[in-house]
Structure 1
Amino acid sequence: MRTEAIIFDMDGTMVDSMPWHSRAWGEFARRRAVPIDLPDFMSRTTGRNGAECLHELLGRVLVQDEVDALTREKEDIYRELFAPHFAEVAGFRRFAAEVAERGLKVAVGTAGDIHSVRFVLSQLGMEPAPLAIVRGDEGLPGKPRPDIFLEAARRIAAQPAHCIVFEDAPFGIEAARRAGMRAVAICSTHSAQELAGPHVLAAVRDYTELMNTDFLERIHVATA
């Protein structure tokens, strides 16, 4: 199968941020005196957009202004917690640079909002920058729906079947399958068994491990 593009999820895939998102949701709920079972909540929401997460937590549909304000509040908590401990998933920047050097298009498809995307990219300093970024605050349904990944492919003019999605969460792996894309499971927050699927090409702890398997050398990179 030809490969012309790589689409990265962001949280837990590019950066090791998921424990800090979990803590942020816990703090957000505490401030609002909302009971929360964090492991259950995270399993039901990781990969979903802000409106969907807030609906799960608060049990009601919110108007857009309220979604925007509450999402910003939670994401501000997350960035405050994560910033002193910011870390990429091991080997990510080197791997992303090698992907671009091989002529593959690079996009990001994340449930994160614009502020968290800017925060992560400013800290990472990816070179070259992604050709397209599709966010969870752009009105698209979150994962496991395939819309975010399909829009990322559309923006970089790549056929879904020729894209490989990198994901750390079950909803993201399922979204890739529904999009007709292959996937690589980054097991930073879930086990290989939780991220398994017939479309999953590899399951690794991080990009250093993946590069040690000669992954890029083994895929068929499409050329013009």
Structure 2
Amino acid sequence: MRLSALIFDMDGTMIDSMPTHRRTWAEFARSQGLEVDIDDLMRRTTGRNGVECMRELFQADIPEAHALAFIEEKEALYRSLFGPQFAEVAGFSAFAEQARAMGLAIGVGTAGDRHNVDFAFSHLRMAHAPSVIVRGDEGLPGKPEPAIFLEAARRLGVSPAQCVVFEDAPLGIEAARRAGMQAVGIGTSHSARELAGPHVLAYAPDFSALIESKFLEKTYVATA
């Protein structure tokens, strides 16, 4: 089926934010008197929405209101630390603009909340905003459930099979598979093996590499 839309995860895919998220999770856990294996925590939470993340951290079904208050505290710390050193994943804005110029729709499917999305787009230098943004605070389950990506496709008015998802995390790659979408692994924090799957078209360290390899031209022509 013809490729019609690209759907991007945000943290670790569009913006190089995962090292700061890692740091702030560790600092928040310490502030709560929790000793955690940060590698294991990141494996279990990257791609999940805020409430799900806090329940994973505390290993308890804490009330949603408490989880939201905790995530607000944690994410405010993240934004204060990442803001002065904000960076997009290399080549992202240029890649998205190239795709838009080719006639492909651009969507975002992130577990991030409204505050983090607004923060990211206040710093990104995109010539054109994405057509749709689906967030993790809209009442949808986080990844690996496919709901966020399926909702992005619905709002874009395209079928899942017409979408390619760009993801940096295994839970996101799995969500794309469950959504019936193909995917591209962006290797900012995981290896090609960790982001592999029968639906994965490519793996690249960043978007500059995809531009250099002419990924869009080859993929779009192949499906045209």
Shorter-chain TM-score category?
A: over 0.9
Structure 1 partner of 2:210: 210
**Mapping 1:163-174, distance limit 5 Å:** 163-174=163-174
1:193 deviates by: 0.7
Aligned equivalents of 2:202 and 2:27: distance in 1?
Answer: 35
Structure 1 partner of 2:113: 113
Structure 2 partner of 1:25: 25
The amino acid across from 1:115 in the alignment is: H
**Residues 32-87 of structure 1, C-alpha deviation per residue, up to 9 Å, x if partnerless?**
11111101100111101111111111121122221221111110011111111111
1:2 deviates by: 1.1
Aligned equivalents of 1:37 and 1:80: distance in 2?
Answer: 24
Aligned equivalents of 2:67 and 2:156: distance in 1?
Answer: 29
Structure 2 partner of 1:219: 219
The amino acid across from 1:180 in the alignment is: G
- For normalisation by structure 1, the TM-score amounts to 0.97
Percent of aligned pairs with the same residue?
A: 59
Structure 1 partner of 2:6: 6
1:15 paired with 2:15, answer yes
1:72 paired with 2:69, answer no
Q: Residue 12 of structure 2 contacts residue 168 of structure 2 at CA under 8 Å; is this kept in 1?
A: yes
The amino acid across from 2:165 in the alignment is: V
1:220 deviates by: 2.9
The amino acid across from 1:49 in the alignment is: N
Structure 2 residue runs of 5 or longer lacking an equivalent are: none
Structure 2 partner of 1:178: 178
Give secondary structure in 1 for the equivalent of 2:189: coil
**Mapping 1:149-168, distance limit 5 Å:** 149-168=149-168
1:126 deviates by: 1.8
Aligned equivalents of 2:158 and 2:24: distance in 1?
Answer: 35
Give secondary structure in 1 for the equivalent of 2:52: helix
Aligned equivalents of 1:26 and 1:53: distance in 2?
Answer: 13
RMSD of aligned Cα (Å): 1.2
**Mapping 1:84-103, distance limit 5 Å:** 84-103=84-103
Structure 1 partner of 2:138: 138
Matched pairs, number: 223
Aligned equivalents of 1:2 and 1:127: distance in 2?
Answer: 25
Structure 2 partner of 1:194: 194
1:48 paired with 2:48, answer yes
Structure 1 residue runs of 5 or longer lacking an equivalent are: none
Structure 1 partner of 2:37: 37
Structure 2 partner of 1:124: 124
- For normalisation by structure 2, the TM-score amounts to 0.97
